[in-house]
Amino acid sequence: MIGGGYVGLVSGACLAAFGANVTVIEHDPARLDRLKTGTMPIYEPGLEELVAAQRQAGRLAFSGDLATALQKSRAVFIAVGTPTRRGSGHADLSYVHAAARAIATHAPDGLLIVTKSTVPVGTGRQVAAIVRQARPDLTFHIASNPEFLREGHAIADFMQPDRVIIGLEEQLGAPSTARTLLETLYAPLSGPEGRLLFMGLESAELTKYAANAFLAMKVTFANEMADLCEATGGQIADVTRGMGMDPRIGPHFLTPGPGYGGSCFPKDTQALATSARQAGTPTQLIETTIAANEARKRRLAERILALAGGDITRCTIAVLGLTFKAHTDDMRQAPALTILPLLHEAGATLRAHDPQGMETACTLLPKGITYTATPLQAAEGADMLLVLTEWPTFAALTPGQLAPRMRGRLVLDYRQIWRKDEWLEAGFHYHCLGSAPLP
Ligand code: NAD
């Protein structure tokens, strides 16, 4: 498994739990050291225990030495990052290509090379071309196996997936070596009720982007309906409940929020839009989704400035939550990274708390923001409470705990974690998304 990040580490540990012998190859020496000492470089519930158990069982190891690991491997997974290339919407495939070149140098005959990273359509064949060019005589197989796990639920998602998408070069005729090997690796998920879905390489690559783009679009649609509710007196919770009970729509990903973020939706929508433009079939829906999501984060910041009466310089804001969602330390493309700099630049005093994200957030956000050890400390002297992440520890806070610490009485619950009536009864002004604020 090349790459010891969210996907490589979780996939490696889970495939070991399925019975495979896995070596996770990580090229960042600091990260590798941590892995070797059993300290997880990322926060993911249950991961440390799973990794420890699989290492103890002798099925999971960490190394920086791909050459040695490949000599005893029948399959290699590429699970490296594919960020957005600077200055364009393209996926940066430099890590994938570097991994392909390293594999080509050391691959034993008959190796199955699987792309697990999220990559634009055509990348699997590029990987094959890189290997073929370097080693024309090598026999190898190529597959695409995009990963659908969600940070925060990664282990359960991997162990009990809705489906495992596997793209192969050939689908007809007798089961290929690649198919048989992947069925063996995913044996607990195969069988008559199997969740393995085989298709062509291109279809598998597109399935991952199409699924993420569709979800990003669904979130953005809910955000726009929330704005419409606010402007017209509707209640988004009622509207989305009514929509979601239609099985053709479904209830998930319809909760309004401060805009989608994270390491996947922003870059995957960009990459899909770019691939589609290049293919001469632009995806207008996705292009619009990207623009609407960017605008939303800025508009929320402007709304907060307006609530402060235009002069926010004397306003202290307690920010609860920095990560793009709960149960992760991932700060990539978090809405906080757009909203907080705008508030800071306008002169607001910001006091922030996040259970997992502060270590990274303080390197990405402007200097001068105070980070506190608890959410209650963030609320000390605050005029407003701004909820940006739906951490359960925040949902458990009550107006009775917060009121004595705060100077003002304004709550901006942009994750719908609290019950409006409780705050109104305690004398707060309570704003959430998708419901017209009461005075
Ligand atoms: P990450 O940045 O957390 O991890 C990538 C790791 O690979 C890093 O530790 C890096 O040091 C290592 N690496 C890069 N090149 C290497 C090389 N040549 N040899 C050894 N190690 C190398 O990234 P991630 O979040 O795990 O994402 C990996 C891929 O999976 C991306 O394409 C992403 O889009 C996709 N994905 C991510 C998620 C998610 O929730 N994070 C979910 C599904 C799919």
Across 376-428, the runs of DSSP E, i.e. the strands, are 384-387, 410-413
201-439 has the same fold as 6-194: yes
- Dist. CA 12–CA 21, nearest whole Å: 9
Angle at 264 between CA 285 and CA 352, to 5 degrees: 110
Our answer on whether the CB atom of 7 is closer than 6 Å to any ligand 1 atom is yes
Strands 140-144 and 164-168: antiparallel
Nearest CA to ligand 1 atom 37: 7
Taking the chain (439 residues) in consecutive chunks of 10 residues, what is each chunk's mean pLDDT? 97 98 98 96 94 98 98 97 86 97 97 97 96 96 96 94 92 74 93 85 97 98 97 96 97 97 94 95 98 97 92 96 94 97 98 97 97 98 98 97 97 96 96 81
How far, in Å, is the centroid of ligand 1 from the Cα of 84?
13
Q: What is the DSSP letter of 95?
A: H
CB of 418 closer than 6 angstroms to any ligand 1 atom = no
Determine whether the shortest distance from the Cβ of 12 to ligand 1 is under 6 A: no
Of 437, 416, 393, nearest in space to 255 by CA: 416
User: Tell me, what's the pLDDT at 173?
Assistant: 59
Query: Is the CB of 3 within 6 Å of ligand 1?
Result: yes
Check residue 88 and give its pLDDT.
82
- 405 near 381, Cβ under 8 Å? yes
Backbone φ, ψ for residue 203 (5° rounding): -60, -40
Q: Please return the burial class of 322, using the count of CB atoms within 10 Å of its CB with bins 0-12, 13-18 and 19+.
A: buried
In a mutational test of the pocket of ligand 1, which residue from 25, 80, 269, 327 has the highest number of ligand atoms less than 8 Å from its CB? 80
CB atoms within 10 A of CB 228: 13
pLDDT number for residue 87: 76
Rounded to whole angstroms, the Cα distance separating 125 from 140 reads 12
* HEC secondary structure over 352-388: EECCCCHHHHHHHCCCCCEECCCHHHHCCCCCEEEEC
What local confidence, expressed as pLDDT, does residue 192 receive? Answer: 67
DSSP state of 408: S
Strand order in the sheet with 316-320: 370-371, 349-353, 316-320, 384-387, 410-413, 429-432
Residues 6+ apart with CB under 8 A from 52: 38
Angle at 20 between CA 14 and CA 22, to 5 degrees: 75
Answer yes or no: are the C-beta atoms of 41 and 4 closer than 8 Å: yes
CB of residue 99 inside a 6 A radius of ligand 1: yes
User: Residues 355, 289: contact at Cβ < 8 Å?
Assistant: no
SS3 for 195?
A: coil
Q: From the CA of 278, how far away is ligand 1's center (Å)?
A: 25
Render pLDDT for 203-257 as a digit per residue (tens, 0 to 9): 999 999 999 999 999 999 999 999 999 999 999 999 999 999 999 999 999 999 9
Asked if 410 contacts 383 with a C-beta cutoff of 8 angstroms, the reply is yes
Write down the CATH number for the domain with range 201-439: 3.40.50.720
pLDDT digits (tens, 9 = 90+) for 344-391: 999 999 999 999 999 999 999 999 999 999 999 999 999 999 999 999
269 lines ligand 1 (CB under 6 A): no
Question: What pLDDT score was predicted for residue 86?
Answer: 79
- C-alpha distances (whole Å) from 104 to each of 94, 111, 129 are 15, 10, 10
Q: Would you name the residues annotated as active-site residues? A: 264
For residue 118, report the distance from its CA to the centre of ligand 1, in Å: 9
CATH class, 6-194 region:
alpha beta
* pLDDT value of position 209: 97
| Among protein residues, the one whose CA lies closest to atom 23 of ligand 1 | 81
C-alpha–C-alpha distance, residues 214 and 23, integer Å: 34
Residue among 147, 163, 333 to mutate when testing ligand 1 (max atoms within 8 A of CB): 147
Looking at the chain, the number of H-run helices and the number of E-run strands are 18, 13
Q: List C-alpha distances in Å: 388 to 158, 174, 366, 395.
A: 27, 52, 17, 12
Tell me, in angstroms, the distance from the centre of ligand 1 to residue 250's CA: 30
Ligand 1 mean position, distance from CA 217 (Å):
24
Q: What is the pLDDT of residue 154?
A: 96
- Domain positions in the chain are 6-194, 201-439
